[in-house]
Each structure stands twice: as structure tokens, then as C-alpha cells.
């Protein structure tokens, strides 16, 4: 007989979301992360059916200083094009009709499941934004790290080596979001963001394996899709501070060490700021780091060690700011096992 896939909820799952008095429980979302990237991303419809082609100028015309009665050789600029592809992130929520209708609050039970799916999509997109690699995983889109992975490569001038050489380093990013900088793209026929469709009560085939026996059940089905990609129109608007030593960060034992480490980070952040193009009009800037770095910067801001590092209240929440640029916490910026060096192949 056909067997339901492991991804389909069971009575055990229902019981785990039911209070002792029989009412619908609200799960404590301990798997949720702080990924403050998504609200900053500038989104644009790709100019190709499944992606976007960007044209960049690669050289300027030659200007000649001529003498009287001497001719001038005509000149021209040159351009090049590169293409970025989208990934299709997709999922189904399939819950047996009887299971849903057995819940104390059927709508609440389904809403709890929807919240989990939305969190999972957010984590997946954020991970791909920084680490996706369509060469190693063709179904993914290519994120920032594979593009900024060679200190002597094309994007080398937009990279900073913080000196860590072990296998547990961090990266911090300064990113400018905008139509001529770094942009999220989506496929034609799609939209900017997660699409959620409640299919209602439908028949669901319980096995799709070729040649396997199949059966069907009545289930409540929701479909999720996000066609998304990354287009780096001008690589100068993404700065990677690579090789930040994790050991140095977590080994801090006193206020002075924390201050010294934070000062080191600030120096790297100032250097990153000055690697940006001078024209940042229409570009939304933000620093992105993990919790360890965010903590060090927050403490230093509270200690008022730097007049350019502050904590401000934005929409009722404290936000660390440096040079007027917000510092965002991204849990998907994980420990990086391979230090960024020279000679690494960049995409």
C-alpha cells in the first residue's frame, strides 16, 4: 500500500499543538532566526523569462591630445553582458482533512503550519543570497560569496582581508541595494516575494514514485512558491569584510579586549565604507553581520566609544548605526570553513 511521505503531519503532530484543556496551542518558535536582510532588498522583474541580463561598460573611449593639423584616431567604449538566473523555491503543505477538522481550532492549526513555512522560506532565501552557488547546485541562484571569493579577482577591490586564517572565520558585508547596485530579481509571471495559495480541500496522491502503487486522500493543501535571484549590477556596491576570526571574537575576556576588538571591526567598516562609489544616491545601505559581531558593536555603541557608532530607536526597536548606516543581524551568516585567499576561482 502507498505510504504517506514523512513531510505530511500526523496525529502526533496535532497532539503536540494541542493544550491540555483541548484548545489550540501556539508554538514557541524557537527555530525562528534573525535575518534582517529581506526588508532591505530592492526587487525588480527580470528582463529574461527566468532571470536578468545586465549590460556593463568595460572601457571608455581614448581621448587624444593632438597637435595642429594632426588627425585623431576615432575611439569607442566597450560593454559586456552577464546573466543571472532565478531559483524556484517551492513547497506544499498537505494535512489530512480528518486531522485538520480534529484540531481544536482548525484555522489556527493551519495558520501555525503556515508560519513555519514562511520562516523556512525566509531562511532559505537569506542563505542563498550570501552562499548560493548555481555551479555546484544548478537549481540554486548564485549569491554574493562565490562572486567575492578571490582577493586578486575582478571583485578583489571590493574585498577586505581581516586576517583570519583558520577554518572558523566570519564575513561581514556592506551592501547597497538599488536598481543600479545590488537587486533581487524575480521571474516573469511571478512576483517579488513569497506566493501562498490556499488550495482548500483537495484530493492528494500519496505516492509519485514511478511504478509505485498510489492512493489518494482528502487533504487541506497550501502551495508556496518564491521565484527569486540576485543581480549584482555594479559589484562596487557590495563590500565583503572576509576572514574575521571567530576565535578572536568569542575569546574576549574583559572590557578592554571587547573595546580593542570592536575598534578593529570599526576600522574594517570604515575601510568598507570608503570602497563604495561616491555616488550612493538612490541606494539603500546596510551592514550585515552575525550575532557575535552585532553584540560587540552594540556594546561599544552603548559605551559611546565612537561618536559615529550609535544606538537609535527605529520603529520602536533599538538599531545600531555606524556612519548613519544600520547594522543588521543575519543568523544565516555562518562560520566559514575556508578562508578567502588569492587565486580562488570567482564566478
Residue 310 lies in a domain: yes
User: Residues 41, 126: contact at Cβ < 8 Å?
Assistant: no
C-alpha span between 49 and 347 (Å, rounded): 22
pLDDT at position 346 is 44
- Is residue 66 domain-resident? no
pLDDT attached to residue 27: 47
Q: Is residue 4 part of a domain?
A: no
Confidence at residue 106, expressed as pLDDT on a 0 to 100 scale? 86
Pairwise CA distance, residues 92 & 9, whole Å: 12
Q: Grid coordinates 511504478 are at which residue?
A: 211
- Domain membership of residue 68 (yes or no) is no
Domain encompassing residue 91:
15-49+84-329
For the chain, how many residues are written?
A: 347
In this predicted structure, what is the pLDDT of residue 197?
92
For the entire predicted model, the pTM comes to 0.83
Q: Is residue 105 in some structural domain?
A: yes
Note the pLDDT of residue 30: 42
Answer yes or no: is 319 within a domain. yes
CA distance 202 to 219: 6
Segments of the chain scoring below 70 in pLDDT: 1-32, 207-213, 249-259, 305-306, 343-347
126 inside domain: yes
Alpha carbon separation from 10 to 15, 27, 100, 221, 281 (Å, rounded) = 9, 16, 10, 15, 53
In a domain? residue 342: no
Tally of domains within the chain = 1
Amino acid at each position: 500500500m502507498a505510504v504517506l511521505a514523512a513531510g505530511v503531519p500526523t496525529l502526533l503532530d496535532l497532539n503536540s499543538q494541542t493544550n491540555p484543556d483541548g484548545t489550540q496551542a501556539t508554538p514557541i518558535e524557537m527555530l525562528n532566526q534573525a535575518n534582517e536582510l529581506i526588508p532591505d532588498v530592492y526587487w525588480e522583474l527580470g528582463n529574461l523569462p527566468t532571470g536578468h541580463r545586465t549590460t556593463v561598460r568595460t572601457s571608455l573611449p581614448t581621448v587624444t591630445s593632438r597637435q595642429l593639423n594632426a588627425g585623431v584616431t576615432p575611439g569607442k567604449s566597450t560593454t559586456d553582458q552577464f546573466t543571472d538566473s532565478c531559483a524556484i523555491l517551492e513547497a506544499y503543505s498537505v494535512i489530512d482533512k480528518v486531522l485538520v477538522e480534529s484540531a481544536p481550532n482548525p484555522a489556527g492549526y493551519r495558520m501555525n503550519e503556515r508560519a513555519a513555512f514562511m520562516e523556512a522560506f525566509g531562511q532559505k532565501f537569506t542563505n542563498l543570497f550570501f552562499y548560493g552557488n548555481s555551479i555546484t547546485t544548478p537549481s540554486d541562484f548564485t549569491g554574493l560569496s562565490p562572486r567575492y571569493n578571490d582577493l586578486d579577482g575582478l571583485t578583489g577591490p571590493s574585498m577586505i582581508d581581516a586576517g583570519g586564517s583558520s577554518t572558523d572565520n566570519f564575513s561581514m558585508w556592506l551592501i547597497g541595494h538599488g536598481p543600479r547596485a545590488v537587486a533581487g530579481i524575480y521571474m516573469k509571471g511571478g512576483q517579488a516575494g513569497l506566493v501562498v495559495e490556499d488550495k482548500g480541500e483537495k484530493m492528494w496522491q500519496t505516492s509519485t514514485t514511478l511504478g509505485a502503487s498510489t492512493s489518494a486522500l482528502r487533504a487541506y493543501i497550501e502551495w508556496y512558491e518564491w521565484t527569486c535571484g540576485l543581480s549584482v549590477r555594479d559589484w562596487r556596491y557590495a563590500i565583503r569584510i572576509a576572514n574575521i576570526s571567530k576565535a578572536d571574537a568569542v575569546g574576549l575576556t574583559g572590557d578592554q579586549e571587547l573595546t580593542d576588538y570592536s575598534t578593529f571591526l570599526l576600522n574594517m567598516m570604515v575601510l568598507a565604507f570608503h570602497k563604495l562609489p561616491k555616488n550612493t544616491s538612490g541606494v539603500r545601505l546596510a551592514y550585515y553581520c552575525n550575532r557575535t559581531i552585532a553584540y560587540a558593536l552594540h556594546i561599544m555603541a552603548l559605551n559611546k566609544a565612537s561618536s559615529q557608532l550609535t544606538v537609535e530607536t527605529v520603529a520602536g526597536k533599538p538599531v545600531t548605526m555606524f556612519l548613519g548606516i544600520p547594522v543588521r543581524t543575519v543568523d544565516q551568516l555562518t562560520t566559514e570553513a575556508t578562508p578567502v585567499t588569492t587565486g580562488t576561482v570567482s564566478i
